[in-house]
Each structure stands twice: as structure tokens, then as C-alpha cells.
């Protein structure tokens, strides 16, 4: 990143966090991701949290490290993480509705099944929520050292794609390894649609009746699926099973919204992050989630909604 871009980033970051704070976040999140890679090679334990929901001791280790660090960095903010049930009670216990309250959401390993099976599409994710809106996100896939961050707080996106990076020991230099990420609009003739295997089994035929040319594919992490749309590799991501939680969504959707993507439900309503849009006990979104390019959604969302009527 040249000095002009560094200067612009520094100015934009000033209102919510400084450039040096962002550099510390980038450095620590990358270190956490690389620690996951290391711990996986040493062996790990898998436990069941619920139906089709597994967790590893690596999830818990990273959760503790990340939570402790963010609490130290931002003692006046609320920090909520996936593997810390006590932290999740802060959603109800604190008057976060005030405009100045900031909530950090931590997902230590998004895409745990990919991690368990030695696949590449898992990520460490951080999201920042303010005034009921996701304003910043960091998504780091340690396999391949792929890092994305951005949001409305800095009015931009950055990535290390196509860079050959080493982990910097100087936090103040960490920002300089990133370049502005220009969202890539999907190709006009492309109809790549991201749909999980479970959603494809249950709803694929109905969706294909609405989009006959659709080509479905999927990968592990919710956040990395969203990045596929940001990068123009897919026109739309459809998430229908209503199990996704705030630590899954705040970071990736902050990046998606900054990229100009539409994040809505089948009726076209913006994805909500207020008390009325989230289950207070589980922090699950009430809405199904569509993330896509506006022209594609304008054309196909009503057809998808009609095809799925009565099935959800």
C-alpha cells in the first residue's frame, strides 16, 4: 500500500479506532489463525454442542485468547464470543441500544467442520456493531493467508490477496501489507449461486425453478462464502436455515455492505441487528439471508421468494 493509501486509511480509521489499533487487530487475528493451523497438526478434541454443531478445543483456546485481548484493548466496549456463554448474556444485560455503545463479536473458527476435516475454508472473524449496524469486519482464512477487512467505519475494503506476506513483528507496519480491495461485480452471464448442501437438498429444486441457469456450490465458512460474492465469484449467497448467529454475520456483512452488496431477506428487507431481529437467548437471526449484487437480486429475488413460498 502506498503512502497515499496509508494516509487515507489513517484518516478514515480515526473516528472508531486508530490505524495503530487496526494494525494490532490485524496482527493478532493473523497470529490466532496461524495458531489454529499449528494446533491442528498437534491433535485436537471434538465435542458436540448440539444437533449438527460441533466444537473443538482449538475453538475454545482461540476464543479465550481473542476475548481476553479485545477486552484489554477496548475495556469500555462489550465483547461477545461464540464459545463464551457468559459473554452472550451481555446482549440483554447492557443497554447497547444507545448510539455510542460498541459491541465486538468474535468467531474463533468459522467453518469448524472444514477445520476438523483438514479443509481450507475456515476463518477467524471479528465484527464491530454500533447503532444496530455492522460497521467493521475482519475475516482471516489462515490456510492461504487470506485476509479481508473493511466496513462503513473506514468507507472501504482492504485485502492481502495476491501478496506474498510474512507476519510482521512491527504492528505499525501491518497496515502497509494490505491493498484496497475493489469489489468485482459478477459476470453478466454468470449464475453461480452459493447454497449449502443442506439448503440445496431441501430447497434446491425450488430455487432452480426460479433461476433455471443457477449453478450451486458451497464452502465451509459463512464469512468466506460472503467474500466469494464480494470477489465476484458468485452472484448470490442464499442462507435459509436460520441458524446463523451474530458472530457469524457482523464482520462479513460489514464488509459486504461496504462493497455495495445488498444484504436482505426474501421480502427485500435489510438484515436487522436490533433486539427485534435477533433471538435473545441464542443470538440467532430471525431472517433468512441473501447477499448479492443489486441487479441480480432485483431480477431474481421476487422469483425466489415465490418459489419458496410455503416451504420455509
pLDDT of 96 reads 55
Helices (H), 43-84: 57-73
Check pLDDT > 80 for residue 11: no
Which of 227, 247, 239, 232 lies closest to 295, judged by CA? 232
Check pLDDT > 80 for residue 121: yes
**Coil, strand, or helix at residue 107?**
strand
Q: How does the average pLDDT of the chain come out, rounded?
A: 87
pLDDT of 177 reads 62
Portion of the chain with pLDDT greater than 90, in percent: 64
Binding site members = 82, 107, 109-110, 248
Which of 243, 227, 242, 238 lies closest to 204, judged by CA? 238
Q: pTM here?
A: 0.89
Contact assessment for residue 53 and residue 35, using Cβ atoms and an 8 Å cutoff: no
Check pLDDT > 50 for residue 132: yes
The 3 state secondary structure assigned to 40-63 is: HHHCCCEEEEECCEEEEHHHHHHH
Q: How far apart are CA 61 and CA 137, in angstroms?
A: 21
Unique residue bearing C-alpha cell 459486504:
256
Binding site members for Mg(2+) = 82, 107, 109-110, 248
Which of 231, 201, 232 lies closest to 216, judged by CA? 201
C-alpha cell at 100: 455510542
Per residue in 39-58, pLDDT tens?
A: 988 888 888 876 777 888 89
Per residue in 50-96, pLDDT tens?
A: 677 788 889 999 999 999 999 999 999 999 999 888 889 888 776 55
Spell out the domains of the chain, with CATH numbers in brackets.
3-180 (3.30.540.10), 192-308 (3.40.190.80)
Check pLDDT > 90 for residue 112: no
Contact assessment for residue 242 and residue 284, using Cβ atoms and an 8 Å cutoff: yes
* Mean pLDDT (whole number) for 109-121: 91
C-alpha cell at 9: 486509511
pLDDT of 247 reads 97
Q: How far apart are CA 286 and CA 270, in angstroms?
A: 12
Per residue in 160-183, pLDDT tens?
A: 875 433 333 343 445 546 777 777
Check pLDDT > 70 for residue 243: yes
Distances (CA, A) of 181 to 12, 22, 48, 102, 151: 15, 16, 37, 25, 12
Residue 9 banded pLDDT, cuts 50, 70, 90: low
Amino acid at each position: 500500500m502506498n503512502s497515499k493509501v496509508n494516509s487515507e486509511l489513517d484518516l478514515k480509521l480515526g473516528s472508531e479506532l486508530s490505524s495503530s489499533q487496526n494494525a494490532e487487530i490485524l496482527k493478532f487475528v493473523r497470529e490466532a489463525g496461524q495458531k489454529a493451523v499449528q494446533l491442528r497438526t498437534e491433535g485436537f478434541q471434538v465435542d458436540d454442542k448440539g444437533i449438527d454443531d460441533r466444537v473443538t478445543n482449538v475453538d475454545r483456546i482461540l476464543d479465550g485468547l481473542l476475548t481476553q485481548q479485545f477486552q484489554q484493548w477496548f475495556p469500555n466496549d462489550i465483547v461477545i464470543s461464540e464459545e463464551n456463554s457468559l459473554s452472550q448474556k451481555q446482549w440483554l444485560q447492557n443497554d447497547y441500544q444507545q448510539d455510542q455503545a460498541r459491541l465486538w463479536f468474535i468467531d474463533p473458527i468459522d467453518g469448524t467442520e472444514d477445520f476438523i476435516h483438514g479443509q481450507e475454508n475456515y476463518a477467524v472473524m471479528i465484527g464491530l456493531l454500533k447503532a444496530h449496524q455492522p460497521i467493521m469486519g475482519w475475516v482471516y482464512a489462515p490456510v492461504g493467508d487470506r485476509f479481508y477487512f473493511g466496513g462503513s467505519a473506514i468507507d472501504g475494503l482492504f485485502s492481502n490477496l495476491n501478496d506474498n506476506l510474512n507476519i510482521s513483528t512491527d504492528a505499525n507496519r501491518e497496515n502497509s501489507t494490505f491493498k484496497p480491495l475493489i469489489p468485482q461485480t459478477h459476470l453478466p452471464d454468470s449464475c453461480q449461486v452459493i447454497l449449502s448442501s443442506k439448503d440445496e437438498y431441501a430447497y434446491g429444486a425450488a430455487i432452480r425453478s426460479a433461476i433455471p441457469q443457477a449453478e450451486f456450490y458451497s464452502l465451509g465458512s459463512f464469512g468466506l462464502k460472503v467474500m466469494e460474492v464480494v470477489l465476484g465469484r458468485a452472484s448470490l449467497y442464499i442462507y435459509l436455515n436460520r441458524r446463523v448467529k451474530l458472530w457469524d454475520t457482523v464482520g462479513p456483512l460489514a464488509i459486504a455492505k461496504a462493497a455495495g452488496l445488498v444484504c436482505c431477506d426474501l421480502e427485500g428487507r435489510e438484515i436487522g441487528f436490533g433486539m427485534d431481529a435477533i433471538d435473545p437467548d441464542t443470538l440467532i437471526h430471525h431472517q433468512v439471508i441473501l447477499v448479492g449484487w443489486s441487479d441480480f437480486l432485483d431480477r431474481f429475488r421476487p422469483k425466489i421468494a415465490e418459489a419458496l413460498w410455503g416451504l420455509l
